[in-house]
């Protein structure tokens, strides 16, 4: 979205002074005007009309506070981002009730995943991951020539924690995606604690990376974040992202919460100045915006229920989902279906072997899902 300051201010119908005055900025009124302005100012990609249900992004974007913060950071564009890192680290620490030394920033949580592989996986200490799960740690370890053990999910699409723990002996890192992408399943607090305790007992040197990218979308009451476990145990790390419920996938900010010693070890593998000033400003403004999170949770819940009902009514099994995407059992190879959807302007998830009969569909806006279900109806016959 091309945003010049003049364009931004005039498009919102506010004078520069009005925009700078805090009372004029809060509330949903500005949010609504911003949303209609974005709708009226499509990016080149939006102009193609493609409905993007392929990457589990938040279709609604980050909300007015983020855009205001980005505007305020324009003047820092010529500076390296070291200074504005401080406020974001402080805001994240405050949000989680942790010390600043427990926070590691990343250029998306993808950087956190990568640097954990670099820091903890070696030719002698393998990576334990799942199949399917988020591919980045496995792909990166393989690229580096590091051994990878992939444990299949069970017949309920859940990570097989018992089997993963049994492969952890001598591992450098265990990647535990909770909720899991792409299967959308989650493990409750008791199961997570038991699993971590078992890995810690059987393989004391192994680090456990709990990826909580979809944390805010979980409705299962038995689920809890593993952040308290990470604070208590130097071998447990939690990663989070601003790419999902916060709607900032294109801005690239994520972070880890870890014990001070572990965080220090991870910091050495960071790309210096890896998070840009605009993203730092937006994330600092958004991290404590509970109202925005609640709004996005509600939108996702409603639109996900609509999408689930469509597929179930059409006779398809839909997996449980604690995220902003659904897995649908097509009972046939999803690849031709994906291609046909693409030709009709609907991008859906990539293949996730060995589950190549399952289609992953990210939840878009209600309007997008209404249009997409018409295409699914046509393509699926």
Least distance between ligand PLP and beta carbon 10 (Å): 32
Q: Between residue 5 and residue 64, which ones bind ligand PLP under the rule CB under 6 A?
A: 56
Is 105 within 8 Å of 297 (Cβ atoms)?
A: no
- Nearer to ligand PLP (CB atom), residue 183 or residue 262: 183
347, 340, 345: which is closest to 361 by C-alpha?
347
- Nearer to ligand PLP (CB atom), residue 12 or residue 252: 252
| Residue 243 found at the interface with ligand PLP (CB under 6 A) | yes
Question: How many amino acids of this chain bind ligand PLP (CB under 6 A)?
Answer: 13
Is 174 within 8 Å of 206 (Cβ atoms)?
A: yes
| Residue 110 found at the interface with ligand PLP (CB under 6 A) | yes
- Cβ atoms < 10 Å from Cβ of 132: 25
Is 70 within 8 Å of 3 (Cβ atoms)?
A: yes
- What track of x and - describes contact with ligand PLP for positions 318 through 347 (by CB under 6 A)? ------------------------------
Least distance between ligand PLP and beta carbon 204 (Å): 26
Query: Which of residues 241, 276, 307, 373 is near ligand PLP by CB under 6 A?
Result: 241
Q: What angle do CA 114, 119, 123 make, to 5 degrees?
A: 100
Phi, psi for 289 (deg, rounded to 5): -80, 80
Interface region with ligand PLP, contact rule CB under 6 A, candidates 81-89, 102-110, 256-264, 283-291: 102-110
- Nearer to ligand PLP (CB atom), residue 185 or residue 243: 243
| Residue 211 found at the interface with ligand PLP (CB under 6 A) | yes
Burial classification of residue 76, based on how many CB atoms lie within 10 Å of its CB (0-12 exposed, 13-18 middle, 19 or more buried): middle
Give residues with Cβ within 8 angstroms of 185, minimum separation 6. Answer: 153, 156, 157, 158, 159, 179, 319, 320, 322
- Nearer to ligand PLP (CB atom), residue 203 or residue 362: 362
- Nearer to ligand PLP (CB atom), residue 8 or residue 240: 240
- Nearer to ligand PLP (CB atom), residue 116 or residue 168: 116
DSSP 8-state assignment for residue 274: -
3-class SS of residue 107: coil
List residues near ligand PLP by CB under 6 A.
Answer: 56, 108-110, 134, 177, 181, 211, 213, 241, 243, 249, 254
């Amino acid at each position: 979205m091309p945003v010049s300051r003049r364009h931004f201010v005039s498009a919102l119908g506010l004078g520069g002074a009005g925009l700078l005055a805090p009372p004029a900025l809060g509330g949903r009124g500005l949010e609504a005007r911003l949303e209609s302005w974005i709708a009226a100012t499509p990016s080149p990609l939006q102009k193609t009309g493609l409905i993007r249900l392929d990457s589990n992004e938040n279709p609604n974007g980050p909300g007015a506070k983020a855009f205001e913060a980005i505007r305020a950071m324009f003047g820092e564009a010529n500076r390296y981002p070291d200074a504005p890192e401080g406020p974001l680290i402080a805001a994240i620490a405050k949000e989680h009730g942790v010390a600043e030394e427990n926070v590691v920033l990343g250029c998306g949580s993808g950087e956190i995943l990568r640097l954990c592989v670099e820091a903890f996986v070696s030719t002698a200490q393998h990576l334990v991951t799942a199949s399917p799960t988020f591919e980045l740690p496995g792909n990166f370890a393989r690229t580096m020539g590091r051994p990878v053990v992939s444990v299949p999910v069970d017949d309920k699409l859940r990570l097989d924690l018992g089997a993963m723990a049994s492969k952890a002996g001598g591992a450098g890192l265990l990647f535990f995606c909770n909720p899991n992408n792409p299967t959308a399943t989650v493990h409750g607090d008791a199961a997570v604690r038991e699993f971590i305790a078992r890995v810690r007992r059987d393989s004391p040197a192994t680090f456990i990376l709990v990826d909580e990218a979809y944390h805010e979308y979980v409705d299962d009451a038995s689920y809890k974040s593993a952040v308290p476990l990470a604070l208590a145990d130097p071998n447990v790390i939690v990663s989070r992202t601003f790419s999902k419920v916060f709607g900032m996938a294109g801005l690239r900010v994520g972070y880890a919460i870890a014990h001070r010693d572990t965080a220090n070890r991870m910091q050495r593998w960071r790309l210096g100045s890896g998070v840009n000033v605009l993203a730092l400003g937006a994330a600092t403004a958004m991290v404590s915006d509970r109202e925005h999170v609640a709004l996005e949770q509600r939108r996702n819940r409603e639109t996900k229920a609509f999408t689930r009902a469509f597929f179930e009514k059409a006779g398809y099994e839909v997996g449980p989902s604690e995220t902003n995407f659904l897995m649908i059992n097509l009972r046939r190879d999803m690849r031709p279906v994906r291609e046909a959807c693409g030709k009709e302007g609907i991008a859906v998830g990539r293949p996730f072997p060995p589950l190549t009969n399952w289609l992953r569909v990210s939840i878009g806006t209600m309007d997008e899902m209404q249009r997409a279900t018409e295409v699914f109806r046509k393509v699926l016959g």
